[in-house]
A = this chain, B = another copy of it.
Amino acid sequence: MIPTTREDPSDAELISHKLLVRAGYIRKLAAGIYTYLPLGLRVIKKIEDIIRVEMAAAGATELLLPIVIPAELWKESGRWDVYGKELLRFKDRGEREFCIGPTHEEVITDLIRREVKSYRDLPKNLFQIQTKFRDEIRPRFGLMRGREFLMKDGYSFDVSEEMALQTYKRMYDAYTNIFKKCGLDFKAVEAATGTIGGTYSHEFHAIASSGEDTIFHCSKCEYAASHERALTVKKRLLDEANELLKATPPSEGSFEYVETPNVKSVKDVSSFLKVSESDIVKTLIYKLVLPSEKEQYIAALISGDDELVEPKLILSLFQAGIIPSMDVQISMASEDEIIKLTGAPAGFSGPIGLPDEVVVVADYRIYLKDKFVTGGNKKDMHLKSVSWQNCRIQLFADIRKARDGDECPVVSVGADGNEIPCDGKLIEKRGIEVGQVFYLGTKYSDKMNAVFLDEKGTQQKMVMGCYGIGVGRTAAAIVEQCHDDKGIVWPLAVAPFECHLIALYDKEGHVEYMANDIYLGMLEANIDVLYDNRYVRPGVKFVDADLIGIPYQVIVSAKSIEDGMVDLKERATGKMERMDVQDAINKIAEAIKCLQEQF
């Protein structure tokens, strides 16, 4: 059941999507919903096995939680209302509300709070590998962004932050091993925490130009972060800016109004006033809804040539004590709200003259600017020659999106106690997120009252972490990295089979006889072998074999068997060598053994 085709699926943009369909690994049933054909399932099982071995080594135990989850648990955590349309909700025949679990923090926390009473029962570290469903608004890229998808999700419960961070580190290391074993070129990067919540997270990205995400890493040190997290300024410099800010009372300044009729965007202002985009400061008005339901407006100032990163804004506000929690909903203020707050339509917002209730935060690059142009808070008006001292700024923060070539933000401490600023530069790459680890703290144990009695008999909240791997997406990411113009080139560890036995039948049946024998010999040598015993032309077999991408091809022809030989071809290099049957088997068996020992 390996239905190869020569045509790309019409909806495929990514090479992995095209190749996995064409080589007979997957088939689409509906948007974002795929069947794993036998070859596809074999790759999945290889990846799952790698995951299971590493999880066991890291002390995590496998269980299987239900797919169908009662709404009550999601209401308890508060996510029933927050989670959008991705959450598939339904009522059963008794009109009770349920959802299909896109993630299982609630279910596992409910299980653990029932079963665990004492510190003696902790830590717990549990995982499952399960089909999940998220009703993505735009499913695409084959397995990369599906609605139904296979996921490994794990959850840990510890007695303290210290222990939980140790578990986090162990999971981080296990994930590193898993993706290494899968043969991926990947980076673990600091990440924002998103819907899952929590305060600390790393994403694992497979490096690929087709990746949906942008990540940064330092050219010299170990620093790496997602674009939602990557810092652009060293902390000491930011602290200095804020110290100066505190010491500097806002001043009136000598700015002047300039008419800018219907000129709103940075680009238009730049050409209208004949200034560069970096001479302009954008004022973005955000509305935050806090956990208390209280609303807070923020004016965020950012250089005209920069992009603001919302998670960095939230993190900065939280770290500066301006908001009490990172668990906030953020959105751009509406046109009506902007008019009400600034007195002018969107496009003319500026920092000067805003109501006191609006918190003004400026990106660090504003601090470096001398004079700049801002909105005038009047229709069709901008301000010129503004300096940051005129702007009632409450905080300088690192809220812009990093760029390739930015300075590395890291400062390490040397053996002599002195600070050593890293002089590396940030390098921008595209990545496919294949895994993520979260330190959750007590986010869920607070809401769901997951407690235990400590050694003194005092009730404590469990400290949690959660850890996910997109299993199908990992398979697709491997294909993004491992292919050539002929097809897939699987790494041995995750290949659906280790060897592809290709028999070029002769009329006399000699080849068939020999090939059958070689097949049995390979099975005896514990080689996973796919036997192409179809009665089709050699060309079809060769093209299919390269497309399917099994690491070793063994070709049996009438010519080769005259001398008891076969042709052994390495898919990756294309190198073909004629050799004795047993030598070929030994060579493949040796490579498999090597791989196992290496792990």
- Could you list which residues of chain A lie within 8 angstroms of chain B, going by C-beta atoms? 1, 3, 27, 29-30, 33-38, 40-41, 44, 61-70, 85, 88, 90, 92-93, 96, 98, 100, 107, 110-111, 114-115, 120, 124, 126, 130-131, 133, 135, 137, 147-148, 535
Contacts and interface: CB of A to CB of B under 8 A. Distances in A.
A37 B63 contact: yes
A107 B62 contact: no
A38 B148 contact: no
A90 B135 CA distance: 12
B135 A66 contact: no
A45 to B, nearest CB: 9
13 contacts: A1-B124, A27-B111, A27-B114, A30-B69, A30-B96, A35-B65, A36-B63, A38-B61, A38-B63, A38-B126, A44-B64, A66-B148, A120-B535
Nearest to A534: B120
Nearest to A104: B35
Given A41-B63, A64-B41, A92 B27 contact: no
Q: Which 10 A-B residue pairings sit nearest by Cβ, starting from the closest?
A: A36-B64, A3-B115, A85-B93, A90-B90, A33-B66, A38-B61, A30-B70, A93-B135, A38-B63, A29-B66
Contacts of A88: 90, 92
B90 A63 contact: no
A41 B62 contact: yes
Given A64-B36, A126-B1, A70 B115 contact: no
A70 B68 CA distance: 18
Contacts of A68: 30, 33, 133, 147-148
A155 to B, nearest CB: 11
A61 B131 contact: no
Contacts of A124: 1
Nearest to A69: B29
Contacts of A64: 35-36, 40-41, 44
A147 to B, nearest CB: 7
Contacts of A41: 62-64
A355 B290 CA distance: 76
Contacts of A63: 1, 35-38, 40-41
Nearest to A30: B70
A8 B38 CA distance: 42
A489 to B, nearest CB: 23
A114 B29 CA distance: 11
B137 A93 contact: yes
Contacts of A115: 1, 3, 27
A445 B241 CA distance: 74
Given A1-B124, A61-B1, A107-B29, A66 B137 contact: no
A34 B70 CA distance: 12
Q: Could you say which of A34, A36, A535 has the most chain B C-beta atoms within 10 Å of its C-beta?
A: A36
Nearest to A3: B115
Contact of A92 (B69, B114, B135): B135
A213 to B, nearest CB: 23
Given A27-B111, A126-B1, A67 B133 contact: yes
A67 B35 contact: no
Given A29-B69, A37-B63, A67-B148, 7 more contacts: A1-B124, A1-B126, A30-B96, A33-B70, A35-B64, A68-B133, A85-B93
Contacts of A131: 67, 130-131
Contacts of A133: 67-68
Nearest to A536: B120
A41 B61 CA distance: 10
Contacts of A37: 63
A93 B135 CA distance: 7
Contacts of A36: 63-64
A32 to B, nearest CB: 9
A93 B86 CA distance: 8
A66 B1 contact: no
Q: Could you say which of A93, A130, A131, A535 has the most chain B C-beta atoms within 10 Å of its C-beta?
A: A93
Given A29-B107, A115-B3, A124-B1, A67 B66 contact: no
A126 B90 CA distance: 31
Nearest to A117: B3
Q: Could you say which of A40, A65, A69 has the most chain B C-beta atoms within 10 Å of its C-beta?
A: A65
Q: Could you say which of A68, A100, A535 has the most chain B C-beta atoms within 10 Å of its C-beta?
A: A68
A212 to B, nearest CB: 20
A35 B111 contact: yes
Contacts of A114: 27
Nearest to A125: B1
B135 A35 contact: no
Q: Could you say which of A30, A40, A66, A147 has the most chain B C-beta atoms within 10 Å of its C-beta?
A: A66
Contacts of A130: 131
A69 B147 CA distance: 12
Nearest to A114: B27
Contacts of A92: 88, 135, 147
A34 B66 contact: yes
Contacts of A67: 67, 131, 133, 148
A67 B134 CA distance: 12
A68 B41 CA distance: 17
Nearest to A147: B68
A70 B107 contact: no
Nearest to A42: B62
A85 B93 CA distance: 7
